[in-house]
Amino acid sequence: MDPWSQQSGLETEFEHQQQPETKEEQPTDVGTGNQQSRRKKQVRRRRNNNRASGEEAAPHLDDVHALDKDTVVTELHSDAGSSDEENDDDWRNRFRAKCKPPCQWFVYASVERELGIADLVVKSMNNEHTNCSHVWKNKNISAKWLANKYMERFRCNVEMPPRLLRQIVDEDFKAEISKWVAYNARAIAKKEIQGNAEQQYTDIWRYCAEIKRTHPNTTMEVMFTPFRQPGCNPKFMRLYCYLGPLKQGFLDGCRPIIGVDGCHIKAEYRGQLLTAIGVDPNNGWWPIAWAVVEREATEQWKWFFELLKNDLQIENGYSYTFVSDQQKGLDRALSEVLPNSEHRYCVQHLYNNFKKKHRGLALKTKLWNIAASTTEGLFKKATADLEKFDKEAYEWVKKAPHPSHWCKTFFSEHTRCDMLVNNLCESFNGHILEARQQSIIKMLESIRIFLMERIQRRTTAMEKFELSIGPLITICC
């Protein structure tokens, strides 16, 4: 008896009826020229001929190699309703696994077509391992398989760390996977959950039309490269978004001071997210507008400020103040679009540049004393103290931007706000950190939903407040 087919449940798959001692040429159904099918038939013929002659020869080397191919499961499907003669690829419904010699562990399983399911049913097995050690590497644990296996876990945490996924696989299957397999599994799951990034850029115009329909008075501006030739799709470049309810809320109750900032988009297709944030009556931040651009430069900032100027109906720039972190190209763009507006610099970013050469708590305190001075006398006294304490630090301050950009003494009074830092934009960017790692439509929707929920929560809280001014204003007074 051939040792490769002596187990019950597999003889019907590999054996045929015995043939006469004389070899007759059997027609070989080549079909589409599948070499694997021909090799299996040759193995069956050789084995049947050996049985017919009464030989108990060991399996030929080619037989072993050919039969080993049956252990690789490429797909599982049910062949209900078809006969064995009609289905030469029935081997795909069978599975065999064995341990390395001299261990005798094995398992035979197959798909039961009568049950109408694609699950494997174990026919026979030897569940005892002898003279072998545990193998931690398993090439069959692919990234695609992991993504399908743990899809629900990825839905709960689409940014699951690769080290966590590797730990889960180790606990569930006692196997190790590389960090690259874990990364690829997360990428496949994220694409399945969030959708195809390329397709979302194709649907961006329909998304803008739907937002305009559901949010009256909304501005959604898309910029793209023109059609270069017939049949060529346009290339997406920029998108500007200013929701109508946010626009009305800013014009009705916010002060004319706007913080502007740019941050990185960390999705599959990189870019920059430009934001404009206002100050609400409770000294909190109020979202105004945001834009997705290809990079942060003068051209992009100028395009953003022109759209913002039209939405806010700014005719005289004297009434508005902008706070920024000295981004690339922002000064020039603001001076071209709104030349009469006041422009402040974030003192925290100014100090970050200052401490690169002048460290120490004493120097930090003296620089902030200069920025916080409210009269010219206090300003001159603070600068004199810095000059007396450190001459080089004083020279650095003299070469810095003019104090009108970062000192309270020179701020205009019409804004009724002495804000020295750009924490408004920093706070907003921190809240949308996870959204900036998603594809474009998913990112825009996450931002919109987050702002809608935040405004509703703050509205509910303020309805319970009895005073006529906000609680933060009360604390400051």
As a whole-number percent, the residues of the chain with pLDDT over 90 amount to: 49
Structure confidence at residue 136 (pLDDT) = 83
Residue type, position 268, single letter: E
Whether the pLDDT of residue 447 is over 80: the answer is yes
pLDDT at 49: 62
- Tens digit of each residue's pLDDT (9 = 90 or more) over 32-91: 445 556 655 665 666 566 555 554 444 343 433 333 333 333 333 333 333 344 444 555
Q: How confident is the model at residue 169 (pLDDT cuts 50, 70, 90)?
A: very high
268-161-75-41 Cα dihedral, nearest 10 degrees: 100
The yes-or-no verdict on residue 413 having pLDDT over 50 is: yes
pLDDT the model gives residue 477: 44
Give the model's pLDDT for residue 47.
57
Q: Quote the pLDDT of residue 166.
A: 92
The answer to whether the CB of 278 falls within 8 A of the CB of 254 is: yes
> Which band of pLDDT confidence, cut at 50, 70 and 90, is reported for residue 387?
very high
Q: Residue 203, class by beta-carbon neighbours within 10 Å (0-12 exposed, 13-18 middle, 19+ buried)?
A: middle
Peptide bond into 403 cis (omega under 30): no
Q: What pLDDT, on the 0 to 100 scale, is given for residue 323?
A: 95
Q: Strand 236-242 and strand 219-224: pairing?
A: antiparallel
How far is the C-alpha of 266 from the C-alpha of 95, rounded, in Å?
Answer: 43
pTM of the model: 0.68
Give tens-digit pLDDT for 112-139: 877 777 778 888 998 888 888 888 888 8
pLDDT band at residue 335, thresholds of 50, 70 and 90? very high
Q: What is the mean pLDDT of the chain?
A: 80
What pLDDT does 64 receive?
35
